[in-house]
Amino acid sequence: MSGSELYFNPDLETMSQDEIVALQNERLKEKVRYVMANNAYLRDLYTKAGVVAEDFRGIEDIEKLPILAKANFRETYPLGMCCVPKNLIREMHMSSGSTGTPVVMPYTIADLEQWAECMARCYRMAGAMEGDPIQIMPTFGLFNGGFGMYHGARAAGLFVIPTGSGNTERQIRMARDFNTRIFGAVISYTGRLIEVMEKMNIELPSLKIGIFGAETVTKAMTEKISARLGMDVFNIYGMTETGGVGTLGMDCKDHSGIHVWEDHYYLEVVDPVTKKVLPDGQEGELVVTSLTREALPVIRFKTGDLTKIISREKCACGRTHVKIDQIAGRTDDMLIVKGVNFFPSQVEQALFEIPGVGSEYQIIMEEKDGVNDVHILVEAEEGVTGYTVEKHLKERLGFSPKGDVMPIGSLPRVDGKAVRLIRKKLD
């Protein structure tokens, strides 16, 4: 492949780390001045922290800035942190708001172009070529997944098949009829796709690239999907607060970490409790600063995602942007049972290591009199027993959760993001 086929923006994707840091420094200084000049809420927040826009020196002063959280978005709902007049907003997306007031992200024309650029880089990094058919299966609506994949696909010159979510049989027929080469979806939905493909007796030999976001992507799930569908699986990263899917980046074909587009975002990994910045290689909470967003540029936003910086060296793919580890979990998703701390993603990884286990499972957190216990329901083929599941989970997690094995097809199916964790209070 030529350079133009490997990269969407080769000059920026392969710039040296010295060039990246210099660019980040200038953009950070400008962005702090910009938000203080254009948003009263943020100006007041920074002024109380002792920040003077004209004296802010960039990266060396970043720890003087307060860390933002979802609470700041909710406190200023709907557009209290926006830095442009409403007549310049061209699109908006927001989180579900299932745990409180939703997070709203507005976009100017420049923001939509930035989003499209970041997504197009991800497509090219996965091996997508102009004219490739891409089936976009996330919802087209307030959730950013469908529109983000669409904006990027247009920029990358792909053939867009905008199916949206649901109607699995139609999804499969369209993928067969249009020789879909790229799937964009939430990864838990692939289990449903595979089941229905087998029921319909349809294979999809043209499918080569799977781009999955919105959920933690475990190595075991990746291997399971890749083996069954014969495609390369990529973990795309981005969130409402950073501008949507793909804005932060994705893993490349080397699959050695998630590249983050450093010309657009500055990263810190901090101790979740003290908020002190941690050195490269040490796991903590990811804090993100957007350097090029216009309508609502977050500065030092704590994502809740746990990861670590694993490399700043040039990658085998040729890109020079920092690589972070796959997301280990979220600070608010940690489960504590019998004195053991663990994340739902660790349960999935352990389950999928057991031969014969299917793709559907549920983690039931049971609380009685303030004491937590965990009950795992998992579908599996004949021969897999509850004892097998409990024994393997004990080896991986350090305690013995209750494990019940159910026939394939027993658990509820959804045409979208799976509900893996269910909390119950017992009398």
Predicted local confidence at residue 369, as pLDDT: 62
Predicted local confidence at residue 4, as pLDDT: 57
Predicted local confidence at residue 394, as pLDDT: 80
Predicted local confidence at residue 23, as pLDDT: 98
Give yes or no: residues 63 and 210 share one domain: yes
| Structure confidence at residue 241 as a pLDDT band (50, 70, 90) | very high
Q: Are 301 and 242 in contact (CB under 8 A)?
A: yes
Please tell me the distance from the alpha carbon of residue 107 to that of residue 314, in angstroms, as a whole number. 32
Give yes or no: residues 359 and 213 share one domain: no
Give yes or no: residues 107 and 189 share one domain: yes
Give yes or no: residues 25 and 56 share one domain: yes
Q: Are 399 and 337 in contact (CB under 8 A)?
A: yes
Predicted local confidence at residue 427, as pLDDT: 65
Cα dihedral 73, 76, 78, 82 sign: negative
Q: Which of 69-78, 94-103, 250-259, 399-408 has the lowest mean pLDDT?
A: 94-103
Last-in-domain residue among 325, 351, 373: 325
Give yes or no: residues 348 and 223 share one domain: no
Predicted local confidence at residue 188, as pLDDT: 80
Predicted local confidence at residue 147, as pLDDT: 96
Average pLDDT over residues 217-231: 86
Q: Are 232 and 104 in contact (CB under 8 A)?
A: no
Give yes or no: residues 66 and 177 share one domain: yes
Q: Is the pLDDT of residue 337 over 80?
A: no
Q: pLDDT of 267-309, one tens digit each?
A: 999 999 999 999 999 999 999 999 999 999 999 999 999 999 9
Give yes or no: residues 72 and 168 share one domain: yes
Predicted local confidence at residue 222, as pLDDT: 86
Q: Is the pLDDT of residue 397 over 60?
A: yes
Mean residue pLDDT across the chain: 91
Question: Would you tell me the crossing angle of helices 109-126 and 145-156 to the nearest 10 degrees?
Answer: 70
Give yes or no: residues 311 and 342 share one domain: no
The CATH number of the domain holding residue 377 is: 3.30.300.30
Q: Which of 53-57, 225-229, 401-405 has the lowest mean pLDDT?
A: 401-405
Predicted local confidence at residue 320, as pLDDT: 98
Give yes or no: residues 317 and 404 share one domain: no
Last-in-domain residue among 325, 349, 382: 325
Give yes or no: residues 229 and 375 share one domain: no
330 within some domain:
no
| Structure confidence at residue 160 as a pLDDT band (50, 70, 90) | very high
Give yes or no: residues 341 and 226 share one domain: no
| Angle of CA points 422, 423, 427, to nearest 5° | 135
47 within some domain:
yes
Last-in-domain residue among 283, 306, 325: 325
Predicted local confidence at residue 1, as pLDDT: 47
Cα dihedral 56, 59, 62, 64 sign: negative
8 within some domain:
yes
The predicted model scores a pTM of: 0.85
**3-state secondary structure string across the chain:** CCHHHHCCCHHHHCCCHHHHHHHHHHHHHHHHHHHHHHCHHHHHHHHHCCCCHHHCCCHHHHHHCCCECHHHHHHCCCCCCCCCCHHHCCEEEECCCCCCCCCEEEECHHHHHHHHHHHHHHHHHHCCCCCCEEEECCCCCCCCHHHHHHHHHHHHCCEEECCCCCCHHHHHHHHHHCCCCEEEECCCHHHHHHHHHHHHCCCCCCCCEEEECCCCCCHHHHHHHHHHHCCEEEEEEEEHHHCEEEEEEEECCCCCCEEECCCCEEEEEECCCCCCECCCCCCEEEEEEECCCCCCCCCCEEEEEEECEEECCCCCCCCCCCEECCCCEECCCCEEECCEEECHHHHHHHHCCCCCEEEEEEEEEEEECCEEEEEEEEEECCCCCHHHHHHHHHHHHCCCCEEEEECCCCCCCCCCCCCCEEEEECC
Average pLDDT over residues 325-348: 76
* Phi-psi map region of 363: left, alpha, beta (phi>0 left; psi -120 to 50 alpha): beta
Average pLDDT over residues 191-196: 88
| Structure confidence at residue 371 as a pLDDT band (50, 70, 90) | low
Residue with the bigger pLDDT between 336 and 37: it is 37
| Structure confidence at residue 45 as a pLDDT band (50, 70, 90) | very high
| Structure confidence at residue 383 as a pLDDT band (50, 70, 90) | confident
Predicted local confidence at residue 381, as pLDDT: 87
Predicted local confidence at residue 2, as pLDDT: 47
Q: Is the pLDDT of residue 395 over 90?
A: no
What radius of gyration do the chain's Cα atoms show? Answer: 22
Q: Is the pLDDT of residue 415 over 70?
A: no
For residue 36, give both structure tokens: 């203080």
Please tell me the distance from the alpha carbon of residue 233 to that of residue 222, in angstroms, as a whole number. 6
Give yes or no: residues 243 and 116 share one domain: yes
Q: Which domain holds residue 153?
A: 1-325
Question: How many structural domains does the chain have?
Answer: 2
The CATH number of the domain holding residue 151 is: 3.40.50.12780
Owner of token pair 């080569």: 208
